[in-house]
Structure 1
Amino acid sequence: MGSRYLYLLRDELRVPVVAYPKRPARASELRDQGFQTIESLEELEQYNTLHSIVATNTGEHLKDAQLLARFGKVLIEKPLAPALSDLEGFNQNGDVDTRSISVAFCWRFSLAANFVKEALATLGQVYHVRIECSSFLPDWRPGTDYRESYSAREAEGGVLRDLAHEIDCAVWLFGYPSEISGLLSNNDQLGIRSEESADILWVAPDGATVSLRLDYLSKIPGRSMKACGEKGTITWDLLKSTVLIEAEDGSEQKHQFLDERSAMLVRQIKAFLGSGDDAKLLASYEEGARVVALSDTARRSSFSQAWETIPDLGIE
């Protein structure tokens, strides 16, 4: 994701950008591609840096954000942190204003997602929501061994962290639950330590049941959301960027959106830089922390084989 941000900032938004890669070899590659790089954070002082994007490994997100926060606003690639325990140890001295930290849940900037958010009112009472995100982890990063990636690590990877967009979308659209049931599985199909799949269930504040299926195992990818209510259904296909509304009278409306991933990222970056109209869509530190709490509680539920209460984070 770091490279994608660099190219979008430079080529699409024409924003001056400096890269701070962790690996020396990567620094050389980026310079060959025309990017300016630095070797230490102290070098940032000369650039009058106001905005930083953290796209490092999940386990390094909070540490890197704490170092960069003194320069200005920080956008952290999802998830905010691997686990709740990481959040508990963050910013203990209170030297970071967490209001300056945002979390990169880019699907909030999807045209289709915002259409769905408005269209949900046409369903009346929503009874049930089904969200699925299925893909094949070995296909994610061509030319690399997926078993060596952070996705494969028990402490940093797994579908709950990698596919946190789905969890955030569910909460953003339907509200945050108080308890959750989760079933995580690793049947050693991929040779990784993290969970290969997760099935999650909760009850939204308005009474709708919300179920999610996330997995690394599907060679035929799928990404969708279906909401069923008293007056019809809404089906959003995230891969095809279509929204189908089926009304109780049998009529159908199908909407197609030009929702390329790069366009969503550009809208998100503009909001972060303060140059767009979508600042309200940015996920706050608190919202990112709640996704971590929800994921952690799903793990706990899978272990206990019982419904578990999501802890109150006490974040102002």
Structure 2
Amino acid sequence: MLKVAIIGSGAISSAHIDAYLKFPDRCRIVAISDIYADKAQARIDRYQLSAAVVQDYKELLSMDIDLVSVCTPPYTHAPIAIDFLNAGKHVIVEKPMASSLQECDEMNDAARKNGKILSVIAQNRYKAPMMKLKAVLDSGLAGPIVHAQVDSFWWRGHCYYDLWWRGTWEKEGGGCTLNHAVHHIDAFLWMMGFPQEVQAFMSNVAHNNAEVEDLSIAMLRYPSGALAQITSSVVHHGEEQQLVFQGTKARVSAPWKLTASDSKPNGFPEPNGALEKEIRQFYDGLPQLAYEGHQGQIDNVLMAIETGAPVLIDGISGRSTLELIVGIYKSASTGEKVVFPIRQDDPFYTREGIQANAIHFYEKKTSLDNFQDLSIPS
């Protein structure tokens, strides 16, 4: 029976608690830590947990705990995760992994040095449509991918950035590109691989109480010549989100949509019904997932601890996602094309460098200690 602690009892902690409670024969939550003890107690009361309330997470470092979920604001992820890894605990950390590539490297070094698992939450991979789309792409049935489109469309009201840690480069680490599109960017990289270069633009068009962007557009180039575009937003009504991959033979996407074309003698398209049928049968024949979302990822981590198998989403994967996001921020801030990798001597490698060099759209003027728990995770 694995003993689990939750660090941070904000809205996203509910997804972790719900997931752990799905596996009562494999793990038990023994502590919830939060700087606001009443928030931690409220979580315990809501779920009727037999768990301790701890205000200072460092009190847990010497306790008999196997695994912790870090659900705190992004700027705290690195020090908390490193402390627990050095104390011999496995760590699941919420998105984004950290506020800088330097912090990611320090977290991965701590995991490697201590022989412990570091997994970064990317729960969208653990959804059947995403898993199936990945399998279709890997099958090659759609042909080599020549263009990809990521629409990470969200909408958040002006007051969203009134919360004390949101809307600043220091504490949130960025805006919608880092904290909302991160899941789509993770899934995109998982399916498409890492690009060679990026050119990006960003703006703040609707939230003058935040330093960070609420809209960004990035254009990516791959060594094969393939191109991709990523739009990250918290200003899109309807929040319609999609990942679209155009192969040489067919177009596939999440939400699932399939179109395959052949060429007429004059070069114009006509439907390739046979290929569409083949891809559809392949897609429909793939298994459903036993657990989805946070439950799927936590099941994967528990299994890795129990069996020694690797996790699907580790700290190296989390770092890759952040490297692309940092590249977007660098390009949008400097107006220059960014060629990967981003090296340690780059000003955007450190949190301090990002704070000093990223565009500050507005200064944060309103700061609330807490919102009521409206069960909206991000």
Q: What TM-score, normalized to structure 2?
A: 0.71
Root mean square deviation of aligned Cα:
3.2
Change (3 A) 1:297 1:171: same
Mapped to 1, the partners of 2:110 and 2:63 lie a distance apart of 27
- State how 1:143-222 maps to structure 2 within 5 Å: 145-148=160-163, 150-155=165-170, 156=172, 157-162=174-179, 163-189=181-207, 191-222=209-240
Are residues 1:57 and 2:86 paired? no
Higher strand share: 1
Which residue is 1:229 aligned to?
A: 247
Offset, 1:212:
0.5
Q: Note closer, same or farther for the CA distance 1:59–1:114 as it changes in structure 2 (3 Å cut).
A: same
**In structure 2, what is the equivalent of residue 27 of structure 1?**
40
Q: Give the Cα–Cα distance (whole angstroms) in 1 for the partners of residues 163 and 254 of structure 2.
A: 33
1:111 and 2:128 matched: yes
Range 66-75 or range 202-211, more displaced? 202-211
Q: Does 1:37 align with 2:52?
A: yes
2:292 is matched with 263
Question: C-alpha displacement at 1:116, in angstroms?
Answer: 0.9
- The whole-number CA distance in structure 1 between the counterparts of 2:58 and 2:246 is 53
Tell me the equivalent position of 1:138.
Answer: 157
> 1:52: Cα distance to partner?
1.2
Equivalent position to 2:15, from 4, 26, 29: 4
SS of residue paired to 1:56? coil
Displacement of 1:184: 1.1
* SS of structure 1 residue aligned to 2:238: strand
Summarize the Cα distance change of 1:112–1:280 in structure 2 as closer, same or farther, 3 Å threshold.
farther
Q: 1:273 aligns with which of 302, 311, 328?
A: 302
Compared with structure 1, are the counterparts of its residues 125 and 114 closer, same or farther at alpha carbon in structure 2 (3 Å cutoff)?
same
Distance 1:313 1:50, change over 3 A: farther
Partner residue, 1:240: none
Q: In 2, Cα distance between the equivalents of 1:274 and 1:92?
A: 22
Pick aligned residue for 1:291 from 321, 340, 349: 321
Counterpart residue identity of residue 18, structure 2? Y
- 5+ residue gaps, structure 2: 1-11, 262-270, 345-378
Query: Cα offset for 1:169?
Result: 1.2
CA shift, 1:46, in A, is: 7.8
- CA shift for structure 1 position 54: 0.8
Q: CA deviation at 1:99?
A: 5.7
Secondary structure at 1:283's aligned position in 2?
coil
- Alignment equivalent of 2:148, drawn from 113, 117, 129: 129
Structure 1 range deviating more: 85-94 or 186-195? 85-94
Q: Is the 8 A contact 1:30 1:37 kept in 2?
A: no
% identical aligned pairs: 18
Matched, 1:82 2:92: no
After superposition, the Cα gap between the structure-2 partners of 1:38 and 1:71, relative to the gap in structure 1 and judged at 3 Å, is: farther
Secondary structure at 2:150's aligned position in 1? strand
TM-fit CA distance, 1:117: 1.2
Q: Tell whether the 8 Å contact from 2:101 to 2:323 is kept in structure 1 after alignment.
A: yes
Given residue 132 of structure 1, which amino acid in structure 2 is its aligned partner?
D
Tell me the CA shift for residue 159 of structure 1: 1.1
Distance 2:117 2:35 in 1: 23
Distance 1:173 1:5 in 2: 25
Q: What are structure 1's unaligned runs of at least 5 residues?
A: 238-242
Cα contact 1:176–1:205 (8 A) shared by 2: no
Q: 1:151 to 1:246 in 2, by over 3 A?
A: farther
Matched residue SS, 1:112: helix
Letter aligned with residue 147 of structure 1 = D
Conservation of the 8 A alpha-carbon contact between 1:21 and 1:37: no
Structure 1 counterpart of 2:77, which letter?
H
**Residue 247 in 1 paired to residue 253 in 2?**
no
In the alignment, is the contact (CA less than 8 A) between 1:130 and 1:227 conserved in 2?
yes
Q: Output the amino acid matched with 2:303.
A: G
Contact 2:37 2:53 in 1 (8 A): no
Deviation at 1:63, TM superposition (A): 0.8
Offset, 1:56: 0.6
Q: TM-score, normalised by structure 1?
A: 0.84
* Mapped partners of 1:73, 1:193: distance in 2: 34
Q: Deviations over 1:101-122 (max 9, x none)?
A: 1111111212111111121211
- The reply on whether 1:71 has 2:94 as its aligned counterpart is no
One-letter amino acid of the structure 2 residue matched with residue 110 of structure 1: K
